[in-house]
Structure 1
């Protein structure tokens, strides 16, 4: 059987990035009874850097438990699991996924003409039958984004496109918002949702080299 990894994410962007890296993968998505969104709830006064790493760790534990259930029911093979979480932070505040169009517009107004930071944390590891034996490799990507000024018409048009929904900070660097990204310092793929350098490094630590 060809080598592959499990991607515990619904993000099509993360799938695209793994494909770019040449990594075969299968999805390991939440069951209907799982409340995946609850894992992303920030704690009071939690710094963004700590938040994104904590959430990614929780996602890995949930994915490991998911693999165990499906291994028993469906005979899933044991392959590495990759989890990730991305958050946008500005002035000490976490800007998560917008609740609705107005919330998206509010976030974009805040980001317009300013500088913000994007953190993406990853957790990569082999699934274990003993959950306490799980010790995934966890790495963090940090990038600074300088966004040009967006006028009200620009914001309205972008929100109307539907692209901001489901994205931290209400924008995707790989889409139409790129027209307003003046400069970045860091990892483009990390801002997009899966830092490829860190992902390759983590897989390599598991003796699962990307370059073959």
Structure 2
């Protein structure tokens, strides 16, 4: 049985430095082309979190895959979208420091879900998946939340925190994929790449 080729080239439809770092963690020798997809990420009606991340990941992949330079045409395209979901509703990124304080106050002392939608495209083959991790925040005081928000770390993060940074101090436990909470579930991505015919080591 022939060994599948090692993944050497990938087009990432995201400007997220966290996704870039995770991909290099998975495959340090990867030649990565970054082509962020500019799309409208607004909710559609009463869209659930899982529906939102799947739709946005597919839309981003379509935007980039349909306009690839001929020199990149043979490479797989990966797009992803991560949302923090509470009681079934995506919370988005806080629009201000005050909004971040309120958002983290809602997460204090309870479980929420982090959902990442991924779309992986090569030629006419389209694969997608949604991965969910449950995250439990310990009880946080108002002063503690305000001090964390003042670090600036929540500013561009879904749900207002970064588990790979100082926000790890807020998290008591997780159930499921850690890399999913960072922004890209490497376990599931590896399985999708295998379906495309690639290995990562």
TM > 0.5 fold call: yes
Moved beyond 3 Å, runs of 4+:
none
The whole-number CA distance in structure 2 between the counterparts of 1:208 and 1:92 is 34
Contact (CA 8 Å) 1:28, 1:63: kept in 2 or not?
no
The whole-number CA distance in structure 2 between the counterparts of 1:55 and 1:202 is 18
Report the 3-state secondary structure (helix = DSSP H, G, I; strand = E; otherwise coil) of the residue aligned with 2:153: coil
How far did 1:14 drift? 0.6
Contact (CA 8 Å) 1:86, 1:168: kept in 2 or not?
yes
Does residue 172 of the first structure (1) align with residue 162 of the second (2)?
A: yes
How far did 1:25 drift? 3.7
The whole-number CA distance in structure 1 between the counterparts of 2:26 and 2:38 is 30
| 1:163 alignment counterpart | 153
Give the root-mean-square deviation of aligned CA atoms. 1.6
Contact (CA 8 Å) 1:9, 1:27: kept in 2 or not?
no
Alignment of structure 1 residues 36-115 onto 2, 5 Å? 36=39, 38=40, 40-67=41-68, 70-71=69-70, 75-115=71-111
Alignment of structure 1 residues 129-168 onto 2, 5 Å? 134-168=124-158
How far did 1:146 drift? 0.6
Report the 3-state secondary structure (helix = DSSP H, G, I; strand = E; otherwise coil) of the residue aligned with 1:208: coil
**Alignment size in residue pairs:** 194
* Structure 1 residue ranges without an equivalent (≥5): 129-133
The whole-number CA distance in structure 1 between the counterparts of 2:156 and 2:45 is 22
Q: Deviations over 1:81-121 (max 9, x none)?
A: 11111111111221101111111111111111111011111
Q: Deviations over 1:132-163 (max 9, x none)?
A: xx442111111100101121221111111111
Does residue 121 of the first structure (1) align with residue 117 of the second (2)?
A: yes
- Under a length normalisation based on structure 1, what TM-score does the superposition of the two structures give? 0.86
- Under a length normalisation based on structure 2, what TM-score does the superposition of the two structures give? 0.90
* Structure 2 residue ranges without an equivalent (≥5): 1-6
The whole-number CA distance in structure 1 between the counterparts of 2:35 and 2:98 is 29
Q: Deviations over 1:17-75 (max 9, x none)?
A: 11111151423324xxx743x1x2111111111111111111111111331xx33xxx4
